[in-house]
A and B are shown apart, each in its own frame.
Chain A
């Protein structure tokens, strides 16, 4: 089945640091990748949609200069949290949609990244 790998799974860093999270589709080409944020005991909140070779589309209220998204290839998208602060601490999870995937198929999720900013 389709596999999405997300790295790192857990990161702790100091306030002011920029953190990069990678999302890779391992056995399929992903035309579209999605980035979600999830606070404890809450649902997934879509942050942005990234399409290979074009600029990401951000959801309302999400700071594009804060959360930089790059989708340089059909198998890799990255989310960079710039100058992270404690309020950016959260669980970030990506998902991917494959080339030619029909509408009955689910999004394939990575295992998520727990980000803790001290």
Chain B
């Protein structure tokens, strides 16, 4: 069974600084995908970044990058140059093996960016 763990219920970061949100996962599958979503207080889920289990390089999307350490089964999200608008809940999610559509979500991390 797949399991996603986010151990930081809440994080604070100063505006313009970088922050790392932790995510570890547990799976026996060789092929899987890891996703990060942002959920502002309004509730919508905003896709941020994707990392495939076979990708050799860490994914990057603008200010978002993923620190993927496969052997440690971790996929931490790094947000550089934090902005006030980055304050939100962040969820790590994993998609199962080929043909299996389900996403498994972590418990989330509430990020607060301080001015």
Residues of A at under 8 Å CB distance from B? 32, 34, 41-44, 46, 49, 91, 93, 95, 97, 103-112, 114
Contacts and interface: CB of A to CB of B under 8 A. Distances in A.
Interface residues on B, range: 20 to 34
A43 B107 contact: yes
Q: Which of B33, B35, B101, B106 has the most CB of A within 10 A?
A: B101
A43 B102 contact: no
The 6 A-B residue pairs whose C-beta atoms are closest, nearest first, are A109-B45, A106-B47, A112-B43, A111-B44, A43-B105, A43-B107
Interface in B77-115: 91, 95, 98, 101-103, 105-108, 110
B79 to A, nearest CB: 18
A49 B106 CA distance: 19
Nearest to B31: A103
Contacts of A105: 50
Interface of B: 33, 35, 37, 42-45, 47, 50, 52, 91, 95, 98, 101-103, 105-108, 110
A15 to B, nearest CB: 23
Contacts of B108: 42-43
Nearest to B106: A43
A97 B105 CA distance: 16
Contacts of A97: 101
A32 B45 CA distance: 18
B106 A104 contact: no
A104 B43 contact: no
Given A43-B91, A49-B101, A95 B33 contact: no
Contacts of B50: 104-106
A3 B45 CA distance: 12
A32 B47 CA distance: 18
Contacts of A93: 43, 45
A103 B45 contact: no
A103 B102 CA distance: 11
